[in-house]
Each structure stands twice: as C-alpha cells, then as structure tokens.
Structure 1
Amino acid sequence: MKKIKFSKDEGSDFYKELNERIKNYFESNRIGKTGNRKMIFKIAMYFTLVVLFYFFMLTSSNTVTFFVFYIGLGISVLLNAFNVSHDAAHGVAVKSKFWNKFLFQLSFNLQGNNAYVWGKNHNESHHLYTNIEGSDIDVLNNPLVRMTMDQDLRWYHKFQYLYVPFLYLFYSLNWFLFREFLMIFNRSSRTIKISIPTGEIIKLIFFKIVYIIYMVVVPCILLPFGWEYIITAFLLNHFLVGIIFTAVLGVSHLSDYVVHPEPDSNGELNMSWPKLQMCTSVDYNVDSTFLNWVLGGFNAHALHHLLPNICHIHYIKLLPIFRDVAKKYNIEYMEMSYVQALKSHFRFLKKMGTQVEFKPVNYEI
C-alpha cells in the first residue's frame, strides 16, 4: 500500500474546531460517544431477527414461506452488519472493548467472511486513503469497471453504466467465494495487498465451511424440499444482499461530485486528510431517522469518516454542528436525496467509461 503524506489547509482548522465542538456537545450533555440504550436495543433486535428468521426458515412447511424466511434471514444479517458489525469494528457499538470485539467477530465470521481481513482493509486503507488509487482498497483495479483515471479505458467501458448493476448482483457472492481466498495467495485484482496471519487463514476457511453447513447443508437435511430449492434460495439471497450493499455504499464514493486525488511523485497530497474525506464522500437523506435506524448511519458517510470514534446513533444530533463548522471554513459538505446520489453514481460510471480525463462536476444542490 502506498503511504500518503497530507498537507495542511483549511480542512485542518475545520477538523480541529469540529472535534472541539463535538467534544463539548458530549460533555455538556453528559453522554458517551459509544452506543446508548437505544443501541443496545438495536443490537438485541437485529440478532434476534437473525435467529428468528433462521428458525422460521428451518420450520417452513412450503417453498413460498421458505424463500420468504431465507431472504429475510439474509437481509437481517446485512442489517446486522450495517448497524452492529461496522460500529463494533470501530470500537463504538458499546463501551466495552471486549464486547465490541466479540460482536464484530461474531457477526462477520458467521456471515462466512473474515473479520480480521475486513477490519484491516476498512480501518487502515479505506478510512485513511479514501478514493486514492493504490492506497484505498475499495478503489478496484477491475478490468470490467473503470473507476479512476489511472485505470486503462477500454472500448467496453462505454457500456459499464448498463452492465454494472448486473455485476453488483455478484458482489456478495464474489466476496464469500473468491475475494478473501485470492487475498491469501496475493492473487487478488484489488490494489492493496495484505498479509493474513496463519490463524486468521484457518478461521477464514473454518467459518466459510460453517456458513455453508448452516445455510445449505442443514436446510437440505431438515427440509422436505429438493436441494435445488436450497441452492436457489442461497443464490437469490446473495444477489439481493449484493444489490442492497452496493446501492447503499456505492453512491457515497462513486459519484461525479467526488474526487479521486493523486499524490505527487513524493507521495504527497495537496490537501489535508479532513478535506479529503469531505471531497470524496456524498451523503444522502442524513436527517432521516428511518435511514439512520436501518442503515446504521451509512447514509452519513462524510460524518462517519471524520468521526469514526462516535456511534451512528448520535449522528442526527451532531449534524447541525457538522454543517455549521463546515460552512464556517468554506468546506463543501455534499448532501442530497438518495435519488440525486443514485443519478450521480450512474453519471459517474458513464463518464468514466467514455472520458480519458474525468473532472467532477460542481456541487450546487
């Protein structure tokens, strides 16, 4: 991974005052930055939904209810990841360091994915070097989808805005079947290579086997349906999870409003880290209590990137402070409706498929 040096600019002063005012908010209200009782309820609710849907799925009497409960299980697991796993990975779901680690490991590993790999990638690559080719692991070096100007423009990229939704269907399945295995052997097409400890490799393989057992083998044994129904439900579940996951996260960093900055030959970037986060993130419907509850604050991505040490349960109350400080230092905070963010996402895909040099459009919403 390429290490980047950041510069000092107005974003530095913005970030300093933002942290001071956020600190004053929590101190004056005598509350902690981690999850509160509402968060505890959310954790219990989402884990309960997973257990209930799994039980109902295994006791289904017909194929219709089986598919409904199987898909419900998959969505519950995804919502658990949005609301519990993510905050726990940042150590803010609850106060206890032990319980944060336990919740993160449990929820991720039981999805058949490896918590260690995701945590390293997310915290030490994506959060630090957002949208920087060669440093942010979420900027793909994918021959099918061109996402930065550093990537070669191929003739078929002009159609990527049309075929990308189909590829999104396979996002979750690719993650489970190929992505982490390829990382073990450093054969991944992703731009970042990481070293996975032997113990984590064993856990990675073990939990993928466990996942297949309770999602495929056990239903095949206990239910009176043919195995083809189980496999179909398994695939449909991953297709739906892939679409929802990319629909929620893709619009935040892959937009024709955001930048993909390039450091100079010395590895220096002509902006501060806080300004980078504001220039590379689009937020949508951030005042929505419903979306904060369902998406775990993923719709307030800029705020989260700058304040990862705060539980998403507090985001809506912090927004007035966030907007006020950004305005004071003339830092652009890009927020819009989801429909506008989605349109911007597809405009970005279309432009990146036809333009060698891509320039973000001015944010004027």
Structure 2
Amino acid sequence: MKNIRFDKTGTGEFSKTLHSRVNSYFKERQKNTYGDRRMVLKSIFMLSVFFLPLAAIGSGLVSNTLLLFALYVLSGLGMAGVGMGVMHDAIHGSYSKNSLINKYLGYSMNLIGANASVWRIQHNVLHHTYTNIDHGDDDINAPFFLRFTPNAKHYWIHRFQHIYIWFFYGLSTISWITTKDFVRAFRYKKLGFFKKKGEFNKVLLKIISWKVLYYSYALVLPLIMVPLPAWIVILAFLSMHFVTGICISLVFQTAHIVSETSFPKPNEKGLIESQWISHQFATTSNYAPKSRIFSWLIGGLNYQVEHHLFPNICHVHYRKISKIVSDTAKEFQVPYLVKSSFLKALVDHVKMLRQLGKA
C-alpha cells in the first residue's frame, strides 16, 4: 500500500461549520457524545440473544435437530447484534467515556470468535481513513474472485459475482474465526503495525487463546453434550455463522458499494485530490433513515455517513445529528447520499456488483 494522502488545501470551512454545529447540539442539550442507558439495555439484550441459546445447547437438554438449528441461528442473530450494536461502538471508544468499559466491551469481539486488535486496524484505521480506496481500505481488498472496486483487476468470473456473492458473504465470519485474523495480523505487521517489542507475539497468543475459548463453548461443548451426530452439530454451528456473515456483510457493504458512491484513485504521488471530509461524503451512503426499529437492530449503521464523520460519537445519537449533517451538506452543496429503504440499498448493491463484474 502506497502512502496515501488527502488534499489539505482550501479553507476547510465546511468541516469547521459542521463540527461546530454538531458540538453545539450536544452542548446546548447538556449531553455527552457517549452511550446512555439505551446502550446498556441493548448490550444486555444482544449479549443475551447470543449467549442464552448457546447455554441451552451446551446444557445437553437439546436433542431435537430442528431446535438445535433454531437456537444456533438465533445465537447468530445475537452475534450480529453484538458486533454491530455493542462491540462496534466500544472499539471506536464511543460506547462510554470510561476507557476501561470500552476496552472490556470491545472484547465482545473476541467472545464471538474474532479479534478486537486486528479488527481495530482493519476498520478504525484502514477502512475509516481510506474508504473505498483500492489497496487502502481493507474492506474492499477482496480475494481475486470478488471485485468491489472498478480499480481492482477484472477477471471473467466477476460477471457472476452478484450470484455467488451471497455464499461468500455467509462465509465471512467463518473466515474470521479460522484464518482471517492470522492472515491480517501478519499483513499488518508488514505494513508497520505492532511495532513495540514483543507486541506481535502477544497479539498472536491472544488470538489463539480467545479462539480456543470461543470454540470451547460454541462448538466443543455442544459436540460433547448434544445427543446428536457430530456432523449435525457442526452444520448447525456453521449455520449460525452463515446467518451472522450475511447480516453483517449486507449492512456494511450496502453503505459503500452502491452505484452513487465513488472509488477515488490516488495519483502517482499517492495523493487523493479531495479533502478527507469530502471523500467520506463521496464514498458513503445512508439508507432507511426513517426505520427506527431497523436502525436499533443494526447499531445505527444505516447512518453510515454520520458514523464515518463522527466515529467517536455513539450511534444512539446518529438519527438526531443526521439532520444537522444533511442540512449543512446541502448548504455547502456537498452531495449527501441516502436511500429511502434498506431494500433499495440492497437492490442497488446488487446492481453495482453486476456493473463491476462487466468491466
């Protein structure tokens, strides 16, 4: 990855105005930017939906195949909820003003089989800084059979990616709990992360330790306790992750890989010819802004524009500040991308995948 930079010329008046108005919103209402009791209740709910079905499975009381699959799938929905509505804010440091609370709730990422340290680099650093930039944003740096940007190399197989993509979206968290964290940890080390002496070895040890813990209660214990053939238990376990993978992939991908978003390419000097804030508006799209229940379930990630501009603000505030962001963008004639529903965003995502597969 070359040293990618953003244009810093200009007055930056739009950025100053936007941040001033958002800060005034919180100051005038005497609110802080962190989570509140709504986050506590959501955390209890999502963690319960994830852990309670696994506890029931591990108790040995489940002997019906259909019930086993139902409990694992329910746990998969809880896993997605923990990822989008608890862990996400915690690792961004926006869950609480107490850094220890953010740290320990961030470990919920580890409890669902992935690794918080690796994800922090992938998401907080690379995705948020270099959104939709090939070789910069690790969310679009995909295997050769997937093409998420027009700047990536095209292969003939891409013409079918809008058909087979669903299978690989479903496999995404299975990849996380097996190889992805290790592959990316080594890659990030080469990119200059984990510089402190012994840090990389500690990261590897933590990845292994957390995964052993996760497999112990999510798969090994059920294999021991459930009076059904092992292959049925393993298939049910995989179905849990398939549901989680589909949920998480679609929520994140429909915010960036759609027809209206751009995929800027740095010049030969590594310069992106726009300011960072303008880049975020150009590469990110909201959807379903009026759907409060849906927004609650996915951790406010339908307000992806607000999240990219203010990742240090908890998602429970996004709906309110979105009006400030959209009005300010309109005033400064900055495009503010939004789809009225998740279905429209999803349809457009498929359309974009087909387009990327043709050229």
Short-chain TM bin:
over 0.9
> What corresponds to 1:129 in structure 2?
130
Matched, 1:179 2:183: no
What is the Cα deviation at residue 130 of structure 1? 0.5
The secondary structure found in structure 2 opposite 1:347 is helix
The secondary structure found in structure 1 opposite 2:34 is coil
> What corresponds to 1:162 in structure 2?
163
> What corresponds to 2:303 in structure 1?
300
Does the 8 Å CA contact 1:141/1:151 hold for their aligned counterparts?
no
Matched, 1:226 2:238: no
Structure 1 residues 153 and 346: CA distance shift in structure 2, 3 A: same
Aligned residues: 352
Q: Aligned AA for 1:33?
A: T
> What corresponds to 1:358 in structure 2?
none
> What corresponds to 1:343 in structure 2?
347
What is the Cα deviation at residue 251 of structure 1? 0.9
> What corresponds to 1:85 in structure 2?
87
Q: Distance in 2 between matches of 1:75 and 1:10?
A: 45
Deviant stretches of 4+, over 6 Å: none
What is the Cα deviation at residue 328 of structure 1? 0.4
What is the Cα deviation at residue 222 of structure 1? 1.6
Structure 1 residues 44 and 11: CA distance shift in structure 2, 3 A: farther
Q: Distance in 2 between matches of 1:285 and 1:157?
A: 29
Stretch deviating more after TM superposition (280-289 or 140-149): 140-149
Structure 1 residues 224 and 84: CA distance shift in structure 2, 3 A: same
The secondary structure found in structure 1 opposite 2:145 is coil
What is the Cα deviation at residue 335 of structure 1? 0.6
Q: Distance in 2 between matches of 1:226 and 1:266?
A: 58
Matched, 1:65 2:67: yes
Structure 1 residues 211 and 101: CA distance shift in structure 2, 3 A: same
The secondary structure found in structure 2 opposite 1:253 is coil
> What corresponds to 1:99 in structure 2?
101
The secondary structure found in structure 2 opposite 1:170 is helix
Stretch deviating more after TM superposition (146-155 or 235-244): 146-155
Does the 8 Å CA contact 2:6/2:271 hold for their aligned counterparts?
yes
Kindly report which structure 2 residues correspond to 1:141-156, keeping only aligned pairs within 5 A, or say none: 141-156=142-157
Does the 8 Å CA contact 1:11/1:273 hold for their aligned counterparts?
no
> What corresponds to 1:319 in structure 2?
322
Stretch deviating more after TM superposition (284-293 or 59-68): 59-68
Correspondence for 1:273 among 271, 276, 280: 276
What is the Cα deviation at residue 287 of structure 1? 2.8
Q: Distance in 2 between matches of 1:276 and 1:11?
A: 16
Does the 8 Å CA contact 2:26/2:33 hold for their aligned counterparts?
yes
> What corresponds to 1:15 in structure 2?
15
The secondary structure found in structure 1 opposite 2:97 is coil
> What corresponds to 2:32 in structure 1?
32
> What corresponds to 1:46 in structure 2?
46
The secondary structure found in structure 2 opposite 1:73 is helix
Q: Aligned AA for 1:343?
A: V
Q: Aligned AA for 1:72?
A: L
Does the 8 Å CA contact 2:169/2:245 hold for their aligned counterparts?
yes
Q: Distance in 2 between matches of 1:156 and 1:275?
A: 34
Does the 8 Å CA contact 1:134/1:192 hold for their aligned counterparts?
no
> What corresponds to 1:360 in structure 2?
none
What is the Cα deviation at residue 141 of structure 1? 4.3
Does the 8 Å CA contact 2:63/2:228 hold for their aligned counterparts?
no
> What corresponds to 2:242 in structure 1?
239
Matched, 1:263 2:247: no
Please list the CA deviations of residues 307-347 of structure 1 after superposition, one character each: whole Å capped at 9, or x if unmatched.
11110001111121111101000111111121221121111
> What corresponds to 2:6 in structure 1?
6
Unpaired stretches in structure 1, ≥5 consecutive residues:
356-365
Q: Distance in 2 between matches of 1:13 and 1:263?
A: 24
Please list the CA deviations of residues 130-179 of structure 1 after superposition, one character each: whole Å capped at 9, or x if unmatched.
01112111121421012223322222222222221222221111222121
Structure 1 residues 224 and 154: CA distance shift in structure 2, 3 A: same
Q: Identity, % of aligned pairs?
A: 33
Superposition TM-score, scaled by structure 2 size: 0.93
What is the Cα deviation at residue 75 of structure 1? 1.4
What is the Cα deviation at residue 72 of structure 1? 1.0
Q: Distance in 1 between matches of 2:342 and 2:11?
A: 26
